[in-house]
Amino acid sequence: MVFIEDLLETDLATASKKVAGELSDITAALNQLVPRLIDEKDRKAVRRYCFYADYAAQWLSNLPAHNPDALPPAAYVYDYLRRNAVALPWAAPTADGLGVIAALVDRLRGVATGLPQEHVQPSREIDGRHFAWFLKTMSQEEFEMKHIEPLRRAMETLNLSKSDVASLMGVTRQAVDKWLLAGPPSERAPKISAIAELGDILRYRLLPGLPGEVVRRPAEAYGGRTMLEVISNDEHEWLLQSTKDIFDFTRVA
């Protein structure tokens, strides 16, 4: 297991290689993407870069620590790592996946302990027009990625795996992978929104950890089925309304 202190008590190159080894799939994907980001105007590559950079930032910000009280909150670290993500490929020490990982680790070391950052400014050799295109495209992609958030929120709140989501939506696990990368099709949005809203209600009304248990518990009100089984049967709108009614205390006389 990698602890955040492992990345702070060594030099940047060693720390970056350690993270790259742990995130070998992400690093390999970035190896293919970064040269394209710098040399080509490829929107698909930008979309994938957004996803992989975000994944790496989440992984780093959620690393365990021997002394967590000495570190900023994970949410703050994540926000700091993702800030100005458009500059990462140009601030990276090498134009590949390891370079982007190193730039993120550099930021982590800075925000966690105040260590001097070695890669903080984009390269002076940037093609200005290409960088402007990349900046604009990145902003568009990140705006569109917000539409994925209801699905991620529902998965986190209800402890749903990709296989769970595939079963609920009647699709393959590979389709769910694509949705998490590029967003679900518009026709799937109403059901995903209903699941996310159901999760929000349970999260606010129940103790932490209980929503994931409740949706898997058979209930007489659902004909002996679980909430997840009701959703799989495309009765999500009815389930959402009935859950709202249960927690609508203004209806109690």
pLDDT at 146: 61
pLDDT at 227 over 90: yes
Tokens (6 digits) for 179:
């949705």
Domain coordinates in residue numbering, the chain: 4-126, 147-251
CA distance 104 to 102: 5
What confidence tens digit (pLDDT) does each residue in 102-128 have? 999 999 999 998 888 888 777 777 888
Residues linked to residue 219 through DSSP beta bridges, in sequence order: 225
Amino acid, single-letter form, for residue 2? V
pTM (predicted TM-score): 0.61
Amino acid, single-letter form, for residue 123? S
What confidence tens digit (pLDDT) does each residue in 34-65 have? 999 988 899 888 988 987 898 899 889 889 99
pLDDT at 115: 82
Question: For residues 143 and 206, which has the higher predicted lDDT (pLDDT)?
Answer: 206
CB atoms within 10 A of CB 1: 6
Using an 8 Å Cβ cutoff, are 16 and 6 in contact?
no
CA distance 36 to 85: 16
The number of residues making up the chain comes to 253
pLDDT at 250 over 70: no
pLDDT at 253: 46
Phi, psi for residue 111 in degrees, rounded to 5: -75, -30
Using an 8 Å Cβ cutoff, are 143 and 46 in contact?
no
According to DSSP, residue 225 is labeled B
Percentages (nearest 5) of helix, strand, coil residues in the chain:
70, 0, 25
Secondary structure of residue 42 in the 3-state scheme: coil
Checking phi first, is residue 29 left (phi over 0); if not, alpha (psi -120 to 50) or beta?
alpha
